[in-house]
Structure 1
Amino acid sequence: MMIEQLQSELIEYAKSIGVDKIGFTHASPFHEMKNRLKRQQELRFQSGFEESDIEKRTEPSLLLHGAESIIAIALAYPSKMEDAPVGKKGARRGIFARASWGVDYHVAVRERLTLIEEWLKERVPDVQLKSMVDTGELVDRAVAERAGIGWSGKNCSIITPEFGSYVYLGEMITNIPFKPDTPIEDECGDCRLCLDVCPTGALVEGGRLNAQRCVAFLTQTKDFLPDEFRKELGNRIYGCDTCQTVCPKNKGKANWIHEEFKPDPELAKPLLVPLLKVSNKEFKAKFGYMSGSWRGKKPIQRNAIIALAHFKEQAAIPDLIEVMNKDERPVMRGTAAWAIGKIGGPNAEEALRKALELEQDAKVLLEIEKGLTLLTVSSEIKE
């Protein structure tokens, strides 16, 4: 079969299985990205979740012998939630980022790539393929940009004309020399809204992210959250959408296309207090199909405690006291102690002082002291 005909038929097949955009690029090295990644390492801006070998991240031929081209795909996901529940006093809610609504995108994108692999193998018996989604070696954004899926925005997301930046990305290296597509021209222009509103200043310049300061990254860490970031979390329990929601290119992009990505409102915006006591089994049963569950319940629970402090939710004090006194994990006990001090109330000081006498972990003791200091400061302000 002629390459041109195969490529045309593949594009039609991809659309038939729910791929919203497909593009092609050559498999030559990503030289510019290599330089950017080296600079990221020098600045220590990396999250630590990505592949550490820069050569593998930018040299497709190291990942597939005889690599000729790369197929890039994109699936659009919703930016709006229908029938979203509203949190209120006594029933506060957290929020998962939009990229974690519905079925885990790693699974959904991988399913499409697998179908494409099978389709190609039927037509090209000696085809060589290597697919990846997010956790693979290649930089999804660099591949998508070069393959004409969209341009790389100042918010470090691929922005498509059709769906804005609300797209999941995946790619497949192959030894078939497909005709490359033309990259899309950058349309960010002079706009810098994403840089100006980033809660922690993680977007240090257009297209450069200090992941160590990014709220989306911070919500996935498992240790104590540094003090300077706690107030910036708000009610986010996984991820952050601020740099996307302010983007003019996302205006009007609801993207209610795939049923599998439509969120269960009660899971995408869950009640916070019940999260504090959820077991591993319950967490997996309830949230396990979402991409936001990949780090387990610990970060979600820690973030839920911080969110309750953000709301100054007095009704949560008894539950927080129980976490501070009984939870086996120091991070939970300490964060709860800090939150109790942040929220305050008639029982807060007594509970914190009792905990101070019994607690033995040095880090937790420090958080209890922070809680007591917050109470003192709050009392002085009222006076």
Structure 2
Amino acid sequence: MANEQLKEKIIDYAHQIGIDKIGFTAADPFSEMKARLKMQQADNYQSGFEKGSNAERTEPKLHVSDAESIIAIAVAYPSRMKARPVNKKGERRGNFCRASWGMDYHTVLNDKLNQLNRFIENLVPGFRSRIMVDTGELSDRAVAERAGIGFSGKNCAIITPEFGSYVYLGEMITNVPFTSDVPVDDGCGDCTKCLDACPTGALVAPGRLNAKNCIAFLTQTKDFLPDEYRDKLGNQLYGFDTCQLVCPKNKGVDFHLHDAFEPEPDKVKPELLPLLSISNREFKETFGHMAGSWRGKKPLQRNAILALAHYREERAVEELDRLMRTDPRPVIRGTAAFAIGKIGRRDSYRLIQQARLSETDEAVIAEMEKGLAFELVYQN
């Protein structure tokens, strides 16, 4: 079968199984990407979640020795939900970013790519491949850009002409030579809305991200959140959407093409207080299918505590006091003490002082002191 005919068959089948966009590119090294990686590392802008060496992240033939091409895919996800829960005093809610709505996209896209892989195997004797979705060595964004899925925006997201940046990306390295598709022209122009709206300055330049300062990254860390980011976290439990929400290319974009990605309102905007006492089993049953659960419940609970502090939710003080006194995890005890102080209920500082008498962890004690310092702030 001629490769152009095979390519058309693959495109048709991809659309049949719910792949919204597909592109093809050569399996040549990503030389420009390698230079960018070196610059990111020199500036210490990497998150630490990245996988593989610079060579492994930019040389497809290290993963499939006879690689000839890469098939890139994009699957659209919604940006709006129906029956949005009300966030109100006494029943404060947190927020999962849109990329964590519905079923974990890693599972969904891996399944689609595996279906596509089996389809090609039946057509091409000796077919070899390697599938990657987000957690692989190659940069999904670099592959998608070169394969014509979309252009790389100043907000570091792939922006497609059809679906804006609300797409999940994945790829398949193959040993079949396909004609490369044409990259999409850059469409950002002079717009800097995403850079202007970034609350932490993590977008240090167009297309350059200091991941360590990005709220999406910070929500996934497990240690104490640095002081300078606590107010900026707001009620965010996982991920961050502002750099997409302000993008003009996303105006009016809202595709509901896949049931798997439909948000469950009470799960993507859950009440904060119940999160603080949820068991491991309950957490897995409630959130385990979502991408935002991958780091476990501790970061989400820490973020929920900070969200309650952000709202100064007095109803939360009893539960926060329980955590401050009895939780075995220093990060949770200390963050609870900070939150109690920030909420500033009449008995807040007495509760912290009492717990301080039996606390031995120096990091927790430091957080208690921060909580007690709010008394002077509020008096002034």
TM over 0.5: yes
1:79 aligned residue: 79
Alignment of 1:236-275 (within 5 A): 236-275=236-275
1:350 aligned residue: 350
Q: CA deviation at 1:36?
A: 0.3
CA distance in 2, matches of 1:228, 1:351: 25
* CA displacement, residues 183-229 of structure 1 (integer Å, 9 cap, x when unaligned): 00000000000000101000000000000000000000000000000
CA distance in 1, matches of 2:129, 2:353: 61
* CA displacement, residues 33-64 of structure 1 (integer Å, 9 cap, x when unaligned): 11000000000100000114000100011111
Deviating above 6 A after TM superposition, structure 1's stretches of 4 or more consecutive aligned residues are none
CA distance in 2, matches of 1:244, 1:331: 31
Number of positions where the alignment pairs a residue of Structure 1 with one of Structure 2: 380
CA distance in 1, matches of 2:175, 2:220: 36
* CA displacement, residues 246-304 of structure 1 (integer Å, 9 cap, x when unaligned): 00000111111111100000000000000000011110010000000000000000000
1:311 aligned residue: 311
What amino acid sits opposite 1:65 in the alignment?
S
Secondary structure class of the residue paired with 2:84: coil
TM-score by length of 1: 0.99
Structure 2 unaligned runs (5+)? none
CA distance in 1, matches of 2:28, 2:103: 33
Secondary structure class of the residue paired with 1:328: coil
What amino acid sits opposite 2:293 in the alignment?
S
Q: CA deviation at 1:379?
A: 1.5
2:337 aligned residue: 337
TM-score by length of 2: 0.99
What amino acid sits opposite 2:9 in the alignment?
E
CA distance in 1, matches of 2:188, 2:85: 33
The percent of aligned pairs where both chains have the same amino acid is: 60
What amino acid sits opposite 1:334 in the alignment?
G
2:110 aligned residue: 110
Secondary structure class of the residue paired with 1:172: strand
CA distance in 1, matches of 2:347, 2:274: 21
CA distance in 2, matches of 1:32, 1:131: 22
Secondary structure class of the residue paired with 2:81: coil
Q: CA deviation at 1:2?
A: 0.9
Q: CA deviation at 1:178?
A: 0.7
Structure 1 unaligned runs (5+)? none
Secondary structure class of the residue paired with 2:169: strand
Tell me the C-alpha RMSD between the 2 structures.
0.5
CA distance in 1, matches of 2:366, 2:316: 22
2:293 aligned residue: 293
